[in-house]
């Protein structure tokens, strides 16, 4: 059996992919204000910095930096997911297991996380996040997608308006 080692880095930066349970739904973009409020509420009680984010209809990618001596991103995600789910009207299809556990059927239970190793890794994940709407066919250019931190990076002069992700980033599959 493989030996999995989680990289818990106090005040480290992490890349995440988080998805809704029913990937055909446009739940996140159709309820963007509820998602923003869930992030805002959790960040108020358990601070972290959102370095970059993109919200697509059925999943999101983001890059966070945690405060010093803090590695608890899992609780933050649990709180964000539950706050968002509570803001949704019930009615989603539930499995027997979810019904027994009284769980909503909004989010996939798990998320994918990657501890950022260095500045090159950080920059590559920034590019991946901002290129993602283009990769999935939701926009022709990163600048065309409204639910992304890309626009902040352009305002700060850190990205050109006509971002084209490097070919190796375009080929990544972190879904």
The answer to whether position 96 is within a domain reads: yes
Integer Cα distance of 35 and 41 in angstroms: 10
pLDDT value, residue 3: 37
Whether the Cβ atoms of residue 48 and residue 68 lie closer than 8 Å to each other:
no
What CATH number did the domain enclosing 89 receive?
Answer: 3.30.70.1290
pLDDT value, residue 4: 38
The answer to whether position 31 is within a domain reads: yes
The answer to whether position 47 is within a domain reads: yes
The answer to whether position 2 is within a domain reads: no
The total domain count for the chain is 1
pLDDT value, residue 109: 81
The answer to whether position 28 is within a domain reads: yes
More confident residue, 10 or 143: 143
pLDDT value, residue 97: 53
Confidence category of residue 6, pLDDT binned at 50, 70, 90: very low
List pLDDT tens digits, range 90-141.
Answer: 665 655 555 555 555 688 888 999 999 988 899 889 989 999 999 999 998 8
The mean per-residue pLDDT over the stretch 14-43 comes to 92
pLDDT value, residue 5: 40
The answer to whether position 3 is within a domain reads: no
The answer to whether position 84 is within a domain reads: yes
Q: What residues pair up with 65 in beta bridges, in sequence order?
A: 13, 49
In the predicted structure, residue 7 carries a pLDDT above the cut 60: no
The answer to whether position 175 is within a domain reads: no
Its domain, for residue 29, covers 13-170
List pLDDT tens digits, range 31-87.
Answer: 999 999 999 999 999 999 999 999 999 999 999 999 988 889 999 999 999 999 888
Determine if the pTM surpasses 0.85.
no
């Amino acid at each position: 059996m493989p030996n999995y080692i989680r990289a818990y880095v106090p005040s480290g930066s992490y890349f995440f992919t988080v998805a809704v349970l029913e990937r055909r739904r446009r739940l996140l973009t159709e309820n963007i204000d509820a998602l923003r409020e869930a992030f805002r509420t959790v960040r108020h009680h358990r601070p972290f910095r959102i370095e970059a984010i993109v919200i697509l209809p059925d999943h999101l990618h983001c890059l966070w930096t945690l405060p010093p001596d803090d590695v608890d991103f899992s609780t933050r995600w649990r709180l964000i997911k539950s706050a968002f789910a509570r803001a949704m009207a019930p009615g989603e299809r539930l499995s027997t297991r979810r019904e027994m556990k009284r769980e909503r059927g909004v989010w996939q239970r798990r998320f994918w996380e990657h501890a950022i190793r260095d500045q090159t890794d950080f920059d590559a994940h920034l590019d991946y996040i901002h290129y993602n709407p283009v990769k999935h066919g939701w926009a022709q250019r990163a600048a065309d997608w409204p639910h992304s931190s890309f626009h902040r990076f352009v305002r700060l002069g850190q990205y050109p308006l006509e971002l084209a992700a490097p070919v190796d980033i375009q080929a990544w599959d972190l879904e």
